[in-house]
Structure 1
Amino acid sequence: MDLNLLRTFVAVYESRSLTSAAARLYVTQPAVSQALTRMRRQWDDPLFHRVGRTMEPTAAAQSIYPSFRDALMTIDRALDAVHSFDPATSDRRFTVAMSELGEIGYFPALFAAVRSAAPGIGIDVVPLDLDLLPDWLARGTVDLAVTSLPISGAFEHQVLKSERYAVLMGQRHPLTADGTDGKTPALTMDDYLRADHAVVAGDSGRPALDAALRRLGAPIHPAVSLRHFASLPPLLSAPNPLIATVPASIARGWAETWPLVLRDLPFELPGVEISLLKRTTSQHTAALDWFHGTVLRALRGDPGEFSSIGARNPLGPGPDRMVP
């Protein structure tokens, strides 16, 4: 078996496109088509069927792909040991999928770590789409992803941190009023459910919160759904009855500069794990291994820098009030 045929097969399988496979292999599309014709004769199977603009694998192709991919990765890593990837001279580009919070909180540290060792490397950040992410990682559309939700597929992943959630509200919210003993009472479940909620539609940790509330038989129906986290501080600081359930690390930063009060959730919610996922495709394994290791070391345990979210405070600084 010609090794180049195996590379072509894996490239077509992962990209589902003759054009994309050709670009990955640095050959022409006719060359890929010719290689595919040879493979079809050799295996006596069509291997791929064109469905619209996509090359969909046959059952035979699906059965042999894992073994061929693993074999190629083993061969490439052996070759890389002789001709190692040199980040200092590389001009490769990598693609990372991140949420809005991930891009704001973690990308500066990621970029600094990568560029300090590889000044010529470029990084593209794409918005996190949880529905498409398994396909992106399987086809190599993205190299890495930072997400707080588990996704389908056997992708290598490492936990970067565990994020807890808290309740945030304005200092003039009725739920901040002191009780008859002069102390602020703990937020009750009834208080939480009766309140008007503001949510951020793109919060990747929200499904875990919603699932916990469904298990309690107490789903909430938000009064306001926003697109960006930066909209929350001025909205909650205004005289209205809204509350928001947000990552505690962000809430603490806002409570230092905005007239906001931070409260504990009135129910148990395990910390939401934020993980780094790695693509499974076989191309450029040495470069991917270096990039993945560099990003992992930069972000693991990093609390993130979220002070820029909603940093402008037209109402003046407020005290850091964490009410138990």
Structure 2
Amino acid sequence: MDIRTIDLNLLRVFDAMIEHRSVTRAAEALDLSQPAMSAAVARLRSLFDDALFVRTGSQMRPTPRATALAPAVHRVMDTVRSEILQAHTFDPATSERTFTIITPDIGEINFLPKLLTRFTESGARLNIRTLAMPRHAAAEALESGEAELAIGYFPDLHKAGLFQQRLFRNTFVCIIRDDHPTIGATMTLKQYLAAPHAAVRPGREHLFEEFLQQRGLTRRVQLETSHFTSLLPIIEGSDLIATVPRDLADVCVRHARIRIVDVPIKAPTIEVHQFWPRRFHKDAGNMWLRAQVHELFRA
């Protein structure tokens, strides 16, 4: 018997006949007309070359062949109902899933503590794996399934094939040590350009650097580093200024003797989004994670 010739709907008919022992009652259970049910039973008989169900009094009793087939057919139908047709759900209280998220080091500082707290609150043993990579590689990682979510400022990811959701707008501010000798509560543009700076250039173009270049402004960069996370001890222990996104500045203020000063020029804003590929759009776990991110970090 070739499975390609079998109408698998006939297994529903067979299972209903085993249960109800009546063409009429089986038809009602499957919401079929009695003629349609009788035609399906006839097809089953032809398929298995056996009468399968024989009228005995008021019932249609199974033949030995039908009795032998019944457990296997029931297992198949039970699997279809309980596993294949069951709505895919995600329970954070029982899952031990690992979520792979693309985010830069600034994102790790800002997003991970709150996400991990949310995981703990859910009572689950959920895990996070983060990746930092160039923007073009981020798109490839999402499309290949290597990662399932990207959170941060990724202008290259605003493309077809990726879903996105804006979380908040970020501004730039300056951070300096609490007892900075020359800068008080405010700072002039002349002070800003003359002061020694720590600049973060993480291997790709930086929005604020482009902003200064477009206006013909040059500052004195004494230190270049590739990671925002390096700034906290550097700024606390020196007279350097760093111009950073506001969310990172807020973290620095909480963990070091650092204070925030406004940038003395109208700085650009950046939009922070979460991005995910089409293949994970309807995934229950990914949907749950996106909902947590949106709830925790939306403006």
% identical equivalent positions: 24
When residues 139 and 167 of structure 1 are mapped into structure 2, their CA distance, relative to the original with a 3 A threshold, is same
- Residue matched to 2:137: 132
What is the CA deviation profile of residues 222-259 of structure 1, one whole-angstrom value per residue up to 9, with x for unaligned ones?
2201244444344334454x221123344355457755
Given residue 84 of structure 1, which amino acid in structure 2 is its aligned partner? H
- 2:155 alignment partner, SS class: coil
SS in structure 2 of the partner of residue 83 of structure 1: coil
Which of 76, 84, 88 is residue 84 of structure 1 equivalent to? 88
Amino acid at match of 1:267: I
Aligned to 1:156: 163
Residues 1:212 and 2:216 are matched in the alignment: no
Residue 146 (structure 1) shift: 0.8
Whole-angstrom CA distance in 2 between matches of 1:159 and 1:199 = 27
SS at structure 2 position matched to 1:275: strand
Rounded Cα–Cα distance in structure 2 between residues aligned with 1:203 and 1:164: 21
* Structure 2 length-normalised TM: 0.59
> Aligned to 1:160, what secondary structure does the other structure show?
strand
Pick closer, same or farther for the CA change 1:91–1:238 going to 2, 3 Å: closer
| Residues 263-311 of structure 1 deviation map (CA, whole Å, 9 limit, x = unaligned) | 211211133222111123369733322332233223324xxxxxxxxxx
8 Å Cα contact 1:97/1:125 also seen in 2: yes
- Aligned partner of 1:21 in structure 2 is none
* Deviation string, structure 1 residues 14-70 (Cα, Å, up to 9, x no partner): xxxxxxxxxxxxxxxxxxxxxxxxxxxxxxxxxxxxxxxxxxxxxxxxxxxxxxxxx
Structure 1 Cα separation of the partners of residues 142 and 87 of structure 2: 26
Letter in 2 for 1:144: L
The structure whose RCO (Cα within 8 Å, separation 6+) is larger is 1
The answer (yes or no) to whether the contact 2:96–2:127 under 8 Å persists in 1 is yes
Instruction: Please state whether the residue corresponding to 1:106 is helix, strand or coil.
Output: helix
Write the letter of the residue equivalent to 1:288: N
C-alpha change, 1:80 and 1:109, in structure 2 (3 Å) is farther
Alpha carbons of 1:249 and 1:287: their partners in 2 closer, same or farther (altered >3 Å)?
Answer: closer
Conserved? CA contact 1:142–1:279, under 8 Å: no
Indicate if the aligned counterparts of 1:143 and 1:288 stay in contact, CA closer than 8 A.
Answer: yes
User: In the alignment, what sits opposite 2:279?
Assistant: 281
1:110-160 CA-to-partner distances (Å, cap 9, x unmatched) read 233345447254332222432311111121111001112312422211122
Unaligned runs of 5+ in 2: 1-82
2:116 maps to which of 100, 111, 114: 111
Other-structure match for 1:75? none
Aligned residue in 1 for 2:190: 190
Return the alpha-carbon distance in structure 2 between the equivalents of residues 81 and 273 of structure 1. Answer: 40
Q: How many Å separate the matches in 1 of 2:248 and 2:134?
A: 22
Name the CA distance, whole Å, in 2 between partners of 1:212 and 1:145. 25
**TM-score, scaled relative to structure 1:** 0.55
Report the structure number with the largest CA radius of gyration.
2
Is the 2:208–2:268 Cα contact (8 Å) retained in structure 1?
no
- Aligned to 1:156, what secondary structure does the other structure show? strand
Q: Whole-Å Cα distance in 1 between the matches of residues 177 and 288 of structure 2?
A: 45
Q: Deviations over 1:78-131 (max 9, x none)?
A: x98743223244443321112212212211222333454472543322224323
Residue in 2 aligned with 1:169? 176
Structure 1 residues 117 and 203, CA gap change in structure 2 (3 angstroms): farther
**Structure 1 residues 139 and 266 mapped into 2: Cα distance closer, same or farther (>3 Å)?**
same
Find the residue that maps to 2:135 and give its secondary structure. Answer: coil
Q: How many residues align?
A: 214
Give the structure 1 partner of residue 6 of structure 2: none
- Number of the residue aligned with 2:290: 292
In the alignment, residue 97 of structure 2 is paired with which amino acid?
Answer: R
Structure 1 unaligned blocks of 5 or more = 1-78, 178-183, 302-324
One-letter amino acid of the counterpart of residue 141, structure 2: W
- Structure number with the higher helix fraction is 2
TM-aligned CA distance change 1:128 to 1:115, over 3 Å = farther
Q: 1:123 and 2:121 equivalent? A: no
Q: CA RMSD in A?
A: 3.3
Partner residue of 2:150 out of 140, 145, 148: 145
> 1-side partners of 2:226 and 2:269: how far apart?
23
1:269 aligns to what?
Answer: 267
Change (3 A) 1:156 1:221: farther
